[in-house]
Amino acid sequence: MQDSYNIAIIGGGILGTSIAYFLSSTSSTSNSKVLLIEQEHDVAFHTSTRNTGKVHAPFLYDPIKKRLFAKAAFLGFDMLKEYCTQRSLPFKQDGVLEVATYDKGIDVLHKYIEWGYSNGLQKSELKFLEKEEVIKMEPKVKCLSAIYCLKDGSVVYGAITRQLFEDAKKFGCTTITGSKVRKILFRNNCMVLYTHDGAEISADYVINAAGGNAVDIAHSMGVAKEYTDLHFRGEYWQAPPEYNDLTKLSIYPVPKYPEYPFLDPHWIVRIDGIREVGPNAVPVFGPYAYSWSNNLRYFIPKVLESSRTGVYKILLNKQFLSLASNELKSSLCKSAMINRAKEFLPQLKPSLFTQRGTAGIRSSLVDKYGRFVPDTFIITNDNSLHLLNYNSPGATGALPMAAFVVNQLIEHGIVSNMDNNNNRATNNNNTTTRKAIWDIRMIADRMKM
């Protein structure tokens, strides 16, 4: 194994493996040596597996404030469908209902319709439904009106991530798992990555796609010091078998406080048929605080960091504190969680829910003024690129986002000598073969439109 690389990618989630997939597909012509390093013993260990597996349609995302999220989600649907088809991975186009349970929610639905069309959805794919039309489609759902989106799907993101990982290795990407990057220094005209097991890895360029750890890594490199992150654990309850026929579709309520990362629990129909209620959004102190004991480990470091950043301003916001206490209540009390979903599925009985689902953690970026950053935040300098605030719908948009990032590296000369018009690589026998499924520049151009 070589200890010197042109590009080192930190993070083996679906975004990091997607970047490795596209970068390694260019390496034969660019002569770039690419490394993917992951702290766990396998990829997709955290958020890329701990999710509902939904392929989110872009009607939820403001085309101005959340432009990158919206574009990536729109392009991600077709790319995921094509990738899953070619790699024999499960993909199901099943649609979704977004329901309004209160009067102001109806206005929000109309706004979502406009956003959806602006983000590229067709009128045949996104429709407003009156109450009577909802009853015909889903008789057990109670609401005032709804949106039905046909272009919504279900996948297994963990399986997709592991397949991207294998493809990247076949394309020539070197991979290291079970090795956590502790420190990164600029030394002898290159970046040196020091890992917890004593390894020193040099790279000309570092891509930080470390998910919940991305902000900490950026800070260790002197980047994005004016930002910090807050972590929210999303918890689920698995529905008993008697509810398997309650609905055909996943049901999402219009969020009451969209300016905060507090989610109103949904009714999720997974690709394997399992039904779940969730998530809530319980504030926690670290990116891997899946249990209360692990949460305590992060308490003191997070408090010290918060005192130096804009987080303390959020903690002085009475509405935020009130919402946070309600989320905590829904974590401690099963009935409090299930009753929130009863607003649109009144048949649910909390006593029948006995098994918890898998909890995941979303990390949201906060600026120095105590405001949540709405979109993916990409910071670059001469030696590194940092992907911050990459949360939901991050898995949906990982492939187009990765192509967008790799194209930036090509345009800036970090990756060179590539025939990007056809995304082709020339081997040692001077024959040309197509590696990645998509043309990187074409995807990047569509991300910019």
Which sign does the torsion angle of CA 365, 367, 370, 371 carry? negative
Q: How confident is the model at residue 435 (pLDDT cuts 50, 70, 90)?
A: confident
Q: How confident is the model at residue 433 (pLDDT cuts 50, 70, 90)?
A: very low
Decide if pLDDT at 423 tops 80. no
User: Residue-wise over 238-255: b if at least 16 C-beta within 10 A, else e?
Assistant: bbeeebeebbebbbbbbb
List the single range of 82-86, 145-149, 156-160, 218-222 with lowest mean pLDDT. Answer: 218-222
Q: Which residues contact 173 (CB under 8 A, 6 or more apart)?
A: 20, 21, 23, 24, 27, 34, 35, 36
Average pLDDT, the chain: 91
Q: If we measure between CA atoms, which residue out of 132, 79, 27 comes closest to residue 403?
A: 79
Decide if pLDDT at 163 tops 80. yes
Domain ranges of the chain: 1-92+155-225+373-449
| Phi, psi angle pair for 103, to nearest 5° | -60, -45
Decide if pLDDT at 68 tops 60. yes
Q: How far apart are CA 398 and CA 57, in angstroms?
A: 14
Residue 86: CB atoms within 10 Å: 10
Q: Which residues contact 277 (CB under 8 A, 6 or more apart)?
A: 236, 237, 239, 265, 266, 267, 268, 337, 338, 341, 348, 353
Decide if pLDDT at 136 tops 60. yes
pLDDT digits (tens, 9 = 90+) for 19-60: 999 999 986 545 679 999 999 999 999 999 999 999 999 999
Decide if pLDDT at 373 tops 90. yes
H-helix or E-strand spanning residue 446: helix 440-448
Q: How confident is the model at residue 416 (pLDDT cuts 50, 70, 90)?
A: low
Per CATH, the architecture of 1-92+155-225+373-449 is what? 3-Layer(bba) Sandwich (3.50)
The predicted pLDDT at position 184 comes to 95
Using CA atoms of 131, 253, 74, 169 in order, give the dihedral in degrees to the nearest 10: -140
Q: How far apart are CA 193 and CA 174, in angstroms?
A: 15
Q: Can you tell me whether residue 175 is helix, strand or coil?
A: strand
| Phi, psi angle pair for 348, to nearest 5° | -65, 135
pTM of the entire structure?
0.94
The predicted pLDDT at position 306 comes to 67
Mean pLDDT of 196-206: 93
Which sign does the torsion angle of CA 56, 154, 394, 102 carry? positive
Q: Can you tell me whether residue 242 is helix, strand or coil?
A: helix
Q: How far apart are CA 122 and CA 133, in angstroms?
A: 20
CB 143 within 8 A of CB 101: yes
Mean pLDDT of 198-203: 93
Long-range interactions of 159-163: CB distance < 8 A, separation 24+ = 159/89, 159/90, 160/14, 160/80, 160/83, 160/84, 160/89, 161/12, 161/13, 161/14, 161/17, 161/43, 161/44, 161/48, 161/49, 162/42, 162/43, 162/44, 163/83, 163/87, 163/89
